Amino acid sequence: MQYSPESLDAFLQAVETGSFSAAARKLKKSQSTISTAIANLEADLGIALFDRQSRQPVLTPQGQRVLPYVQSIIAASERLDEVSVRLAGNIEPRLSFVLSDLWQTSHHESILKRFSERFPDIEFECLIAEDEDVIDLIQTGRAHVGVLRVQERYPVDVTVARLQVGAQMAIYIHKQHELASLQWVEMEKLHTFRQLCLKTYKDPTRNMGGGPVWSSPSLLMLLEMAEQGFGWGILPRWLVEQFGHGVLQELPVAGWPQHIDVDVMWSNKEPPGAAGRWIIDRLREQQA
């Protein structure tokens, strides 16, 4: 039996967003179209996928069993799209690449040099963003390929792959701050001082602790705040070593420094062309 790709997409988006109306907005379709698509899939399968008696649709036990199979079908379709793009060799006229400041510059500089030689005529744009902002740029089509720290969960309309090269994050403060003279710093004491906290545009509510906070969506801006002595912050080691001007000190805190895994991401609804695939492949080939 063949199943409509539109019905499978509608089902996955309804699960991801938690409602038919939210799935409709995500797919830019009417709610009735989404409801019909899911009803057609239920008719084809001969089972009810959602319990519609509650305010929001809830997966039935049968729906929960079906979900991983639908995810596998969609994933296989995405892999087929990737193969076709690589075989066809269609080069997009423009490529936008967004990456996080936590990832060391040297990791992508060599790739961009080779990219400029291989695709000399393409229009290229490089953006800087973090976490949810990277995801948003990919989902909205503003960027085609993104590099970001590993997230707990991803939307169903993006594809991610783990990179072999990660990042080291540590807690830093100005050398003249009173905490800089301590041999050990408890997290409870740390939170009595101002934290320089990363807050993305898409998730401005995040906060590591309960103390006073200054925030920015840019790790580089947080670094500059720390250099001015405005507080402590969690920063990439490479960023401090390369741009910290020697005025910051890494604090000895339990559990720190931390290794951060990094993913490369792209849209599976509007996947990148040959140039974007080339960058993705080179990123995945890199070793620490």
In whole angstroms, give the CA distance from residue 35 to residue 55.
Answer: 15
pLDDT at res. 85: 60
Taking the C-alpha atoms of residue 103 and residue 167, their distance in angstroms, rounded to an integer, is 6
Q: Which sequence spans correspond to the domains of the chain? A: 5-71, 89-166+261-285, 167-260
Q: Per mean pLDDT, which range of 2-6, 42-46, 84-88, 132-136 is the poorest? A: 84-88
Q: What is the pLDDT of residues 265-284, one digit of tens each?
A: 999 989 999 999 999 999 99
Contact between 232 and 179 under an 8 Å Cβ cutoff? The reply is yes
Q: CB neighbours (10 Å) of residue 190?
A: 18
pLDDT tens digit string along 20-55? 888 888 887 888 888 898 888 888 888 999 988 877
| CATH of the structural domain 89-166+261-285, one choice from 3.40.190.10, 3.30.1360.200, 3.20.20.80, 3.30.310.50 | 3.40.190.10
Q: Average per-residue pLDDT in the chain?
A: 89
What pTM does this model have?
Answer: 0.74
CATH 3.40.190.290 fits 167-260, yes or no: yes
Task: Give the residue from 260, 254, 208 showing the smallest Cα distance to 237.
Answer: 260
Domains 5-71 and 89-166+261-285 share a fold: no
Amino acid making up residue 65: R
Query: Which is more confidently placed, 171 or 104?
Result: 171
**What is the structure's pLDDT at 28?**
79
pLDDT tens-place string over residues 158-209: 999 999 999 999 999 999 999 999 999 999 999 999 999 999 999 877 665 6
Q: What is the mean pLDDT of residues 138-146?
A: 96
Q: What topology is assigned to 5-71 in CATH?
A: Arc Repressor Mutant, subunit A (1.10.10)
> pLDDT digit string (tens) for 54-65?
778 889 999 999
